[in-house]
Amino acid sequence: MRKPLFTGCGTALITPFKNGEVDYEALDKLVEDQIAKGVSALIAVGTTGEPATMTWEEHLAVIRRVVEKADHRVPVIAGTGSNATSEAVYAAKHSAEFGADAQLVVTPYYNKTSQAGLVAHFNAIADAATLPVIVYNVPSRTGLNISPEALAEICQHENVIAVKEANSDVAQAMEKVRLCGDKVDFYCGNDDLIVPTIACGFKGVISVLSNVLPAETSQMAKLALEGKNAEAAAIQLKLLPFVNALFSETSPIPVKAALAKMGLCEDELRLPLVPMQEGPRQKMYAIMRELGLIA
């Protein structure tokens, strides 16, 4: 029987910046805090980590640092996705050399391609065989949805081990599980759907929420995986207003604002992203006070 890379909660780490540079001191503290509070995996420079505004040198340096700091305590998944297949292969090669355990590969953005192109893209990356592939489908951000039929083709490849499905179309996600669930594992990419998707066969979540609430998100996923749906759902519903706040502006804008308020990083992004607007910010802070995250 195939063993999942991880079960439960994997955190899609932010990349902290300070004075225009990567803040490695804050990154180290985030890694330690996440592991101490029970997350099952760390994703370094996935889309939440702002790779679109980082150089490849920075991108790979952050992956290396997270691998070193995690020190085999949890799997580290490297964000290698690109709209150029060759660049994704390049990033995976170096991430494998650093000791990453797998790669998270987002669908190509802007140039998008066809469903046949998607199959060719993921097959080429999997053929390189440098790291196991987790396919990342997030149509709201890329403008491109992997169809169930195309995903079924992609998942035939022996080096494709999992899918991160960040699609609010739960019915389509379930069709993908029906077609591919015997070949790969599925992880939820929507923090508002963790419990429902686990109930339908997902092995856990790759989460933005857990940057701020690693223990609570991990507990929610654990309860859901144990079939304790009422208890898991109670956490999901309690945290739903905060999840909505975290996505009230383009992610990772709100999650960085939340972490900065908690003293865990600077509230710094790179253009074209700008800090959270005051109205949504204050609404989020009010929810954080209710949850006891800030005074």
Structure tokens at 43: 């994703």
Q: How far apart are alpha carbons 38 and 214 in whole angstroms?
A: 7
Q: Is 277 helix (H, G, I), strand (E, B) or coil?
A: coil
Q: How far apart are alpha carbons 118 and 74 in whole angstroms?
A: 30
For 87-126, give one letter per residue: b (16+ CB within 10 A) or e: ebbbbbebbbebebbbbbbbbbbeeeeebebbbebbbebb
Other C-beta atoms lying within 10 Å of the C-beta of residue 281: 20
Q: How far is CA 12 from CA 128, 167, 229, in A?
A: 24, 16, 24
Angle, helices 278-290 vs 253-261, to 10°: value is 50
C-alpha of 26 from chain center: 19
* Candidates 37, 112, 136, 187; catalytic one: 136
* The residue type at 172: Q
Q: Is 271 helix (H, G, I), strand (E, B) or coil?
A: coil
Active-site residue 136, yes or no? yes
* Candidates 69, 164, 176, 203; catalytic one: 164
Q: How far apart are alpha carbons 282 and 285 in whole angstroms?
A: 5
DSSP 209: G
Other C-beta atoms lying within 10 Å of the C-beta of residue 295: 5
DSSP string covering 49-78, please? G-GGGS-HHHHHHHHHHHHHHHTTSS-EEE
Active-site residue 90, yes or no? no
Query: Catalytic amino acids?
Result: 136, 164
